[in-house]
Structure 1
């Protein structure tokens, strides 16, 4: 097992950085008169939001079983990703690594931060090839490894043994992106935080929690890394309205479970119905709220559905002739299936049917 030393992988300028201390960072609790932040004294949203999102962290701590000082609240999980590059990777010098196909923002954030991103192809069954990865684990310039599990767009979880191996052998930061973990039958790696000081778990309120429009993500890790995130983030990165929306969801866990189970039931129905469509060649197993399917001609099928005002995700550029279908409401799913049945023909005629 490689020895992990956080100080060895932080950018020197970040180690020296003194983070901005906002007016609300310097005062805790409630007051009767606020004359510290140059705010307009009138209105209902005239005050700055809580810069540390204390109420959300307290509630998440109770739900997830982690300490409040192990939680970072970001402006979407994209901020969690971007800040990792800013904290640990020197532009034009360091590297990050992920597996392909996977979530596209890893490459975008790497490019924005001028960090080379190594993209290792997954195996034919969309798993991590540890033997191919091994040489990269010895690269001193490699600071971050991103693991999206359940993976987007493939929908599967990676084998736990492979992830454990990476956590043990890599002396940099491992970020496990669990945006879809609430839909999965697999356990979150959040239970492994106590075992690995180099582990960051990224989750989001955009998927199972139904708050994509709110843009709130979460990172769970050790308190030392959380301190770095708090030092680098903008002072008021989550608005008051967005914090309230998250708290309302967290206070209604029963409704969350009801909606999640409806989605999972709809996914099961969709998977069965897709098996009867001639255009569908393969349905990949999914641990998320979407299904990756191989079809006869992804580009033409996508365009045909767009013409009917049905939008799916064309993933042909990542996985040959594959489309990704998000599980929608019963009404939306029925409309999709009706369109697919109308487009479906016998196998011999498929290529000439569009």
Structure 2
């Protein structure tokens, strides 16, 4: 496979914007910067941030064992996903494949970029339907989006199915691993060197508890990352986000303890849900949430809202009729949730 053949022609011909800080390479100590029309009076954020986010990437590279040239950072994963659309999908011509029920932004971004979204529902076991995907794809299918562990179902997809798509699809396979830190499954980042068409996205919004700073991470081949860098906004990750990310990424022990606590609380919630009469099914979870089938999802959702508890009603999603998605909270929040579920 030649990745270059998948890239939009206008993107290949694009001359990227070069910011003032892109042009300067060297030691920033004791330098006088008069190149970017900034306010010169120091307040901590009067200078533009590093457009290449070198310090954050260096830390991620060390933690993940992945070269910095294989990493792109974005203003949340949604920006990363949008950049992938812009690089590979020709508006009003190409199409993508998504596997509902899944993360809704894939479809939203397809609409924004004028790309057909071919929806191939997961099987009853919430696994990719390889036969249906094979029938649906064509020479204009550029990307298959795979969310594993999946949102909203919570399960991880069989590795053999993802591997089959990587080997037999002449396009880009995006594996969204927003919830990978809660799973026992190995990240697909460990296999980037095997598959030139593999893109793995992760985030600091879930396990790392940094949803407020909006930092998405993309791991891919050096060739793909190079093209994504050509079209990204020059200063897409602000200085405060970069500083906070570094601080949190250095707290491995704290994060690990929080993840362990969340997993423990997830097991408790699953056990307590099984004791509730109107809960008919609890799906296995590799994430920090649980999908549960109830007698009437809309009724139960509204009852919880009245009690001051907000969850997600997923009953409109394919294969999720009368299903509620419950995020794992703190021990005290989970006790309130369980008490309320038993009382309504």
**TM-score of the superposed pair, with normalisation by structure 1:** 0.95
Q: CA deviation at 1:250?
A: 1.1
Question: Residues 30-53 of structure 1, C-alpha deviation per residue, up to 9 Å, x if partnerless?
Answer: 142110000001122100000000
For 1:261, the equivalent position in structure 2 comes to 260
Conserved 8 A contact 1:5-1:171:
no
Q: Which residue of 2 aligns with 1:136?
A: 136
1:115 and 2:110 are equivalent in the alignment? no
Partner SS, residue 170 of structure 2: coil
Counterpart CA distance in 2 for 1:123 and 1:63 is 35
Residue 28 of structure 2: which of 30, 51, 65 is its match?
A: 30
- Where in structure 1 do 4 or more consecutive aligned residues deviate above 3 Å? none
Measured in 2, the distance between the counterparts of 1:194 and 1:9 equals 18
RMSD: 0.7
Aligned residue runs from structure 1 range 1-354, under 5 A: 4-28=1-25, 29-31=27-29, 32-42=31-41, 43-137=43-137, 139-318=138-317, 319-343=320-344
Distance 1:34 1:264 in 2: 48
Q: 1:348 aligns to what?
A: none
Q: Which moved more, 1:290-299 or 1:36-45?
A: 36-45
Q: How many correspondences in the alignment?
A: 339
Q: CA deviation at 1:136?
A: 3.1
Is 2:70–2:225's contact at 8 Å kept on the other side of the alignment?
Answer: yes
Deviations, residues 82-103 of structure 1 (Å, cap 9, x unaligned): 1111000010000011101000
Residues of 2 paired with 1:125 and 1:140: CA distance?
29
How far is 1:309 from its partner? 1.1
Point out where structure 2 has 5 or more consecutive residues left out of the alignment: none
Distance 1:51 1:269 in 2: 44
Q: Assess if the C-alpha contact under 8 Å between 1:200 and 1:221 holds in 2.
A: yes
The question of whether the paired residues in 2 share the 8 Å contact of 1:180 and 1:208 is answered with yes
Q: CA deviation at 1:135?
A: 2.2
CA distance in 2, matches of 1:44, 1:177: 34
Q: CA contact under 8 A between 1:183 and 1:260: conserved in structure 2? A: yes
For 1:347, the equivalent position in structure 2 comes to none
CA apart distance, 1:70: 0.1
SS of residue in 1 equivalent to 2:21:
coil
User: Counterpart of 1:224 in 2: which secondary structure?
Assistant: helix
1:303-335 C-alpha deviation (Å, 9 max, x unpaired): 010011100000000110000000000111111
Distance in 2, matches of 1:134 and 1:171, equals: 11
Give the TM-score normalised by the residue count of structure 2. 0.97
Q: Cα distance, 1:278 vs. partner? A: 1.1
Find the aligned partners of 2:274 and 2:285 in 1 and give their Cα distance: 14
